[in-house]
Structure 1
Amino acid sequence: MSRAYFVTGTDTEIGKTTIAAGLLHAARRTGLSTAAAKPVASGCVATPDGLRNDDALALLDQCSLALAYDEVNPFAFAPAIAPHLAAREEGVELSVARLLPAVRRVLQRGADFTLVEGAGGWRVPLAGDENLSDLAVALELPVILVVGVRLGCINHAVLSLEAIERDGLRVAGWVANIVDPQTSRLDENLATLAGGLPVPCLGRVPRLSRATAEAVAEHLDLAPLGVAL
């Protein structure tokens, strides 16, 4: 049975891709086929093969299906700024209608476990009054919320979950990614998060010296998603 999820975060730079790559690796080691999409990415680097984004490459590296880079990341922009601003500077209008076909092609590959990663948090502008969250709604995918654990994360996490559910989507689970291990009262904050997020926790990932997909996967549990381990 194919399972697909939209991965979002409580903010930017909270390790969303690190967790997504870990989830894909965890799925692969159970024998599941994997695929991923990061439909829009900014902060890309020019290479002989075209613009490349480190996050998209990290996801591609964990795809067991043979996907081309452009399938995983169809809209790539060089400036390391908000995607809608980067697209505007390049004369590209980002819209749900333009992003949907590319993501659906990846979903149609039929991998056992597919992740579609957003950019930044839940409310990331595209063009006009559209947000990247509208893409998740159009895809009707359950959501995995990555919480960057640091000061202020409880507010961000609860508001993100409320917004996702208000948009009519189910939050399948959340991951605590401890981006600031010096967070005061860390255990108490994690307990408060668990109480404020009434959905399964898929893992607590500590600050790792080498946050490889394999190392991250050791701290994740896919069982709440119905994935056999």
Structure 2
Amino acid sequence: MALLKKTYFVTGTDTEVGKTFISCAILAKAAEQKLVTGALKPVAAGCQFVDGELHNEDAIALQAHCNLPLPYQTINPVALKEAIAPHIAAQREGKQLQVSRLEGFARGAMMTPADLWLVEGAGGWLVPLNPRETLADLAVALDTPVIVVVAVRLGCINHALLTVAAIRARGLAVAGWVANCPGENDLQHSANPALLENIATLKSLMGAPLLGQVPQCDTPVQAAQYLDLVPLWH
């Protein structure tokens, strides 16, 4: 396949919706298609010391599933210790988060050629970085289409529609969305009687391609089989 040079910002409808897991599944699917992939987590809160440096488990997962040999510090240039809102974690560590700095890190990394780059946010779309800027501002600065990860559970329709409305209000395209269904082994025979109806409602209202309905999977490679990335290549 010819070099695609596609870049997407990955956001979620909330924290803990499986954003990293789905990002890794997308990378795995792209790798199956013989594409060169890179991934970034510009800012991560909730890190532990590994060999004297702060590392985040989400960034480590992205590093494991992209096939460019990227150093950890390239993938996650800003690592914050506490697992709290990034702007609060940064304040407690005496650091200042700025979109211009994060954009510089990302653009520098993405000078390395790849078919697909994923830039994963932290939490949801409007997570603050400082009193004036949010992670949405980073996506705008990078001018990338957005992939939305939706955890299909009670309240997901409202959360998803608010998220895509906010993305479009900033002038960015919603390239696609993924219905992530953790805890569901069989989507056709779910214990949640409204699961498929919720997904159908979102399909009719999101105004963007559904890239996949992902049940409970042990690994991102398993989850990749439920994804269709063709809409991203156009």
TM-score (structure 1 length as normaliser): 0.95
Per the TM alignment, residue 154 of structure 1 is displaced from its structure 2 partner at its CA by 0.2
Q: What amino acid does structure 1 have at the position aligned with 2:224?
A: A
Per the TM alignment, residue 49 of structure 1 is displaced from its structure 2 partner at its CA by 4.5
Provide the residue aligned with 1:172 in structure 2.
175
Provide the residue aligned with 2:25 in structure 1.
22
Tell me, yes or no, if the aligned pair for 2:176 and 2:210 is still in contact at 8 Å. Answer: yes
- Unaligned stretches of 5+ residues in structure 1: none
Q: What amino acid does structure 2 have at the position aligned with 1:86?
A: A
Tell me, yes or no, if the aligned pair for 1:39 and 1:117 is still in contact at 8 Å. Answer: yes
Residues 1:216 and 2:223 aligned together = yes
SS at match of 1:26: helix
Tell me, yes or no, if the aligned pair for 1:150 and 1:179 is still in contact at 8 Å. Answer: no
Tell me, yes or no, if the aligned pair for 1:14 and 1:147 is still in contact at 8 Å. Answer: yes
- Unaligned stretches of 5+ residues in structure 2: 185-190
Residue pairs, 1:1-229, within 5 angstroms:
1-179=4-182, 181=184, 182-208=191-217, 210=218, 212-226=219-233
Q: Distance in 1 between matches of 2:216 and 2:221?
A: 14
Q: Distance in 2 between matches of 1:116 and 1:132?
A: 11
- Size of the aligned set, in residue pairs, is 225
RMSD over aligned CA atoms reads: 1.1
Q: Distance in 2 between matches of 1:61 and 1:180?
A: 24
Question: What is the aligned-residue identity percentage?
Answer: 52
SS at match of 1:21: helix
| Post-superposition CA distance 1:110-138 (Å, at most 9, x none) | 21111000001000000121001000000
SS at match of 1:119: strand
Q: Distance in 2 between matches of 1:71 and 1:143?
A: 21
